[in-house]
């Protein structure tokens, strides 16, 4: 019935009518179980285009008294749930898109007062028997309705953190804090709220904002809990779409997967892989893998952070581009956009924005997938301190061609530079470091190969295997030696029959033996071709 108060279900109806609709309505079963309890305050943070607004529209359409959504939801999973009837279109819903309001307010300092006035007008229209005044805050309006009717409210606030991300003037920020305080810190108002659901890109800021929202349970990209599967596409959902649209699932996984969420529920460990919905949908509709991320975000977010150049940031970034995981402490970050004191703060910030993924069990982070890797290589290309890294990346296509053509000296020379670049003097002789150097040197190969380190093969483990997923490309098995000879590496590939692991592959095989000398820091390369 209103824009803000008891909105209609048009947005959800539009989603249902779209060519691709992935049913996330079972989020309502979870919310029905916690509304009207002390867990009714929820804040969920995810990167851009991960489905936060989509979920908010589902919630609004289900709870809002301003529409009849039965027919829409009867087509969805939630209609079979035992809780479906209990709350369908039975609550007063207040739905706010703070980002939209901020963008569309000419005088930003009037944002809160103008937004409050617009919502208050809708209260006056929808509750004509209740006396509202021009001084009433939103919290006061809610309290008056609850006092007279006993009706509870569901508050949905999308992009709650936009004023934090925009780093607005202090006066506006203080107004916003008062607004949040009135809604969520009032013990008098608490009984009138059945559910409060906030979304944002960043978790709750750990200073003044946290004091206003410290009664909220947070579900972040680092700790998504029982809401993990409802914001972002799951592996099963993506697999079904790939089957329907005749898209290679494994290639889709390489491009858009990489966000692994782990949580415990009823004492049991649960895991969920999450994909970027925007990129997956566009891939299905366009039938083309592409860096769709760049359409909604910018690599400058990364390059701006790299320019801060905290201690050992560069070393870790190079390792991640080379395919490694790096240790990270996510507990120091204050959830702001400017109060960074260490590389850990920067990496944690980039996790929340989706540019890195987090492994909770190992406490490490990594670049999640091929799409996001392109954003990192773009950022490196415009950051002066990473000129050598950029040069290696740009030379990787040529190096792959030289390898296929059997130019051993060119390969050895390229690894001389890359191996030194990705390591320190102390770690140079670590075999993992050489594997990372190879990964970085051949980074272009990710467009044509799946790269597997320490692959179970034949009678042992092949150091690095390149398995092509495009036609007319040779598979490659790389074996590493130290203070030995490249011929010995080739011999080991043959004797241990590492090529047996490629029995289903038909085409040319390249055996690449690489030896490096600890003292001279020089590499030797031998390449043999085998027709299978």
Tell me how far the alpha carbon of residue 86 is from its chain's centroid.
Answer: 33
Helix (H) or strand (E) holding 10: helix 10-17
Q: b/e per residue, 338-348, with b = 16+ CB within 10 A?
A: eebebbbbbbb
Q: What integer pLDDT is reported at residue 116 of this predicted model?
A: 96
**In the predicted model, is pLDDT for residue 509 greater than 90?**
no
Collapsed DSSP state (helix, strand, coil) of residue 41: strand
Q: What integer pLDDT is reported at residue 309 of this predicted model?
A: 79
Residue 345 φ/ψ region, left for φ over 0, alpha for ψ in the -120 to 50 degree band, beta for the rest = alpha
Please state, in angstroms and rounded to a whole number, the distance separating the CA atoms of residues 75 and 65. Answer: 20
Could you give the residue ranges of the DSSP H alpha helices within 336-485?
Answer: 343-352, 370-381, 387-394, 396-404, 408-421, 431-441
Q: What integer pLDDT is reported at residue 296 of this predicted model?
A: 62
**In the predicted model, is pLDDT for residue 292 greater than 80?**
yes
Query: What is the pLDDT averaged over residues 526-531?
Result: 84
Query: Given pLDDT bands bounded at 50, 70 and 90, which one contains residue 270?
Result: confident
How much of the chain, in percent, has pLDDT values that exceed 90? 57
The three-point CA angle 96-99-104 to 5° equals 95
Q: What integer pLDDT is reported at residue 424 of this predicted model?
A: 57
Q: Write the pLDDT tens digit of every residue in 155-181.
A: 999 999 999 888 888 899 889 989 999
Q: What integer pLDDT is reported at residue 319 of this predicted model?
A: 86
Please state, in angstroms and rounded to a whole number, the distance separating the CA atoms of residues 266 and 275. Answer: 25
Nearest to 114 by CA among 49, 164, 175: 175
Instruction: Count CA atoms within 13 Å of residue 386 on its CB side.
Output: 29
Q: What integer pLDDT is reported at residue 141 of this predicted model?
A: 97
**In the predicted model, is pLDDT for residue 428 greater than 60?**
no
Collapsed DSSP state (helix, strand, coil) of residue 88: coil
Tell me how far the alpha carbon of residue 79 is from its chain's centroid.
Answer: 29
Least confident of 119-128, 359-368, 430-439, 467-476: 430-439
The reported pTM is 0.88
Instruction: Count CA atoms within 13 Å of residue 130 on its CB side.
Output: 21
User: Between 206 and 489, where is the model more confident?
Assistant: 489
Q: Write the pLDDT tens digit of every residue in 306-363.
A: 888 788 888 889 889 988 899 999 998 888 887 888 999 999 999 999 999 999 889 9
Could you give the residue ranges of the DSSP H alpha helices within 166-229?
Answer: 170-184, 208-213
The residues, any chain, with a CB within 8 Å of residue 219's CB and separated by 6 or more, are 42, 43, 44, 45, 225, 226, 227, 228
**In the predicted model, is pLDDT for residue 461 greater than 80?**
no
Q: What integer pLDDT is reported at residue 98 of this predicted model?
A: 95
Q: What integer pLDDT is reported at residue 49 of this predicted model?
A: 86
Q: What integer pLDDT is reported at residue 115 of this predicted model?
A: 96
Query: Given pLDDT bands bounded at 50, 70 and 90, which one contains residue 409?
Result: very high
Radius of gyration (C-alpha) of the chain in whole angstroms: 27
User: Between 422 and 369, where is the model more confident?
Assistant: 369
Q: What integer pLDDT is reported at residue 531 of this predicted model?
A: 63
Q: Write the pLDDT tens digit of every residue in 88-129.
A: 999 999 999 999 999 999 999 999 999 999 999 999 999 999
Query: Where do we find the tokens 């790389």?
Result: 478
Please state, in angstroms and rounded to a whole number, the distance separating the CA atoms of residues 174 and 209. Answer: 10
**In the predicted model, is pLDDT for residue 74 greater than 90?**
yes
Query: What is the pLDDT averaged over residues 145-164?
Result: 95
Query: Given pLDDT bands bounded at 50, 70 and 90, which one contains residue 210?
Result: low
Q: Output the CA torsion 407→409→415→418 (10° steps).
A: -90
Reduce the secondary structure of 153-169 to three states and give it as a string: EEEEEECCCHHHHCCCC
Q: What integer pLDDT is reported at residue 112 of this predicted model?
A: 95
Calculate the alpha carbon distances from 369 to 285, 357, 360, 427 in Å. Answer: 20, 9, 18, 26
Burial class (CB in 10 A: 0-12, 13-18, 19+), 390: middle
The residues, any chain, with a CB within 8 Å of residue 226's CB and separated by 6 or more, are 30, 219, 263, 265
Number of helices (H) and strands (E) in the chain: give both, helices first: 24, 16
**Strand ranges (DSSP E) for 412-532?**
449-457, 460-468, 475-482, 508-516, 523-531
How much of the chain, in percent, has pLDDT values that exceed 70? 95
Q: What integer pLDDT is reported at residue 503 of this predicted model?
A: 67
Q: Pairing relation of β-strands 449-457 and 475-482?
A: unpaired
């Amino acid at each position: 019935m209103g824009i803000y108060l008891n909105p209609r279900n048009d947005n959800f109806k539009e989603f249902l009518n779209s060519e691709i609709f992935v049913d996330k309505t079972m989020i309502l079963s979870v919310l029905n179980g916690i509304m009207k309890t002390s867990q009714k305050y929820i804040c969920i943070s995810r990167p851009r285009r991960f489905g936060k607004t989509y979920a908010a529209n589902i919630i609004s359409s289900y709870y809002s008294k301003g529409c009849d959504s039965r027919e829409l939801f009867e087509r969805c999973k939630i209609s079979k749930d035992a809780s479906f009837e209990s709350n369908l279109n039975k609550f007063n819903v207040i739905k706010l898109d703070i980002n939209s309001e901020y963008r569309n307010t000419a005088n930003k300092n009037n944002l809160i007062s103008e937004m409050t006035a617009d919502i208050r007008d809708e209260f006056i229209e929808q509750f004509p028997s209740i006396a509202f005044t021009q001084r009433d805050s939103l919290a006061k309006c809610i309290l008056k309705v609850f006092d007279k009717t006993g009706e509870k409210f569901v508050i949905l606030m999308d992009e709650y953190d936009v004023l934090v991300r925009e780093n607005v003037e202090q006066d506006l920020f203080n107004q916003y804090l008062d607004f949040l305080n009135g809604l969520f810190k009032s013990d008098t108002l608490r009984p009138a709220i059945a559910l409060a659901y906030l979304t944002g890109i960043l978790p709750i800021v750990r200073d003044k904002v946290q004091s206003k929202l410290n009664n909220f349970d947070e579900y972040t990209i680092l700790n998504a809990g029982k809401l993990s599967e409802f914001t972002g596409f799951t592996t099963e959902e993506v697999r079904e779409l790939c089957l329907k649209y005749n898209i290679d699932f494994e290639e889709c996984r390489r491009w858009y997967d990489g966000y692994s969420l782990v949580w415990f529920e009823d004492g049991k460990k649960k895991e969920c892989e999450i994909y970027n919905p925007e990129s997956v949908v566009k891939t299905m509709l366009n039938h083309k893998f592409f860096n769709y991320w760049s359409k909604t975000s910018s690599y400058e977010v990364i390059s701006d952070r790299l320019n801060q150049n905290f201690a050992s940031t560069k070393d870790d970034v190079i390792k991640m581009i080379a395919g490694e995981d790096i240790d990270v402490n996510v507990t120091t970050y204050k959830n702001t956009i400017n109060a960074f004191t260490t590389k850990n703060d920067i990496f944690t910030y980039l996790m929340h924005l989706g540019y890195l993924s987090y492994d909770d069990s190992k406490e490490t982070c990594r670049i999640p997938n091929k799409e996001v890797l392109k954003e990192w290589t773009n950022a490196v290309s415009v950051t002066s301190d990473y000129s050598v890294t950029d040069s290696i990346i740009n030379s990787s296509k040529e190096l792959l061609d030289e390898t296929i053509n059997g130019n051993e000296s060119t390969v050895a020379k390229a690894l001389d530079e890359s191996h030194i670049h990705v390591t320190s003097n102390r770690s140079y002789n670590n075999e993992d470091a050489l594997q990372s150097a190879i990964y970085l040197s051949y980074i272009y190969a990710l467009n044509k190969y799946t790269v597997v380190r320490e692959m179970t093969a034949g009678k042992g483990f092949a150091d690095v295997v390149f398995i092509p997923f495009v036609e007319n490309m040779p598979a490659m098995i790389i074996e590493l030696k130290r203070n030995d000879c490249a011929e010995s590496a080739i011999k080991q590939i043959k004797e241990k029959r590492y090529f047996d692991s490629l029995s289903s592959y038909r085409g040319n095989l390249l055996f690449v033996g690489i030896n490096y000398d600890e003292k001279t820091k020089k590499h030797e390369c031998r390449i043999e071709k085998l027709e299978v």
